[in-house]
Structure 1
Amino acid sequence: MTPNIIDISIASIEVLNPRVRNRKVFEELVESIRAVGLKRPIMVRRSPIGQGFELICGQGRMEAFVKLGATAIPAIVIEATRDECYVMSLVENMARRNLSPLELIREVGVLRQRGYSHTEISRKVGFSPEYVWTINFLLEKGEERLLDSVERGVIPHTIAAEIARADDAQVQRALTEAYEAGSLPGAQVLAIRRIVDQRNLIGKGIKSVRSGPKRSQPTTAAALVRAYQKEVERQRLLVKKATLTEGRLTFIVSAMGKLLADEHFVTLLRAEGLASLPHPVAQRLGIAGDPT
Structure 2
Amino acid sequence: MATKKNHGLGTGLDAFFSNNPIQDLNEGSEGVTEISVKDIRPNPYQPREVFDPDKLKELADSISESGVFQPIIVKKGVNGYELIAGERRLRASKLAGKKEIPAIVRDYTDEQVLEITVLENLQRENLSPIEEGQAFVTLIKKLNLTQDEVAKKVGKSRPYITNYIRLLQLPTAVKTMVEKGKISNAQARALLKLQDPAEIEKFAKKVVSEGLTVRQIEKLIEEKQDTKKVKKEIKEPTPFVRTTRSSLEDLLDTKVKIQQSSRGKGKIEIAFASEDDLARIMELLHVEEN
Scaled by the length of structure 1, the TM-score of the pair is 0.50
Structure ID, larger Rg? 2
Structure with more relative contact order (C-alpha pairs < 8 Å, separation 6 or more)? 2
Scaled by the length of structure 2, the TM-score of the pair is 0.50
Instruction: Specify which structure has the higher proportion of helix.
Output: 1
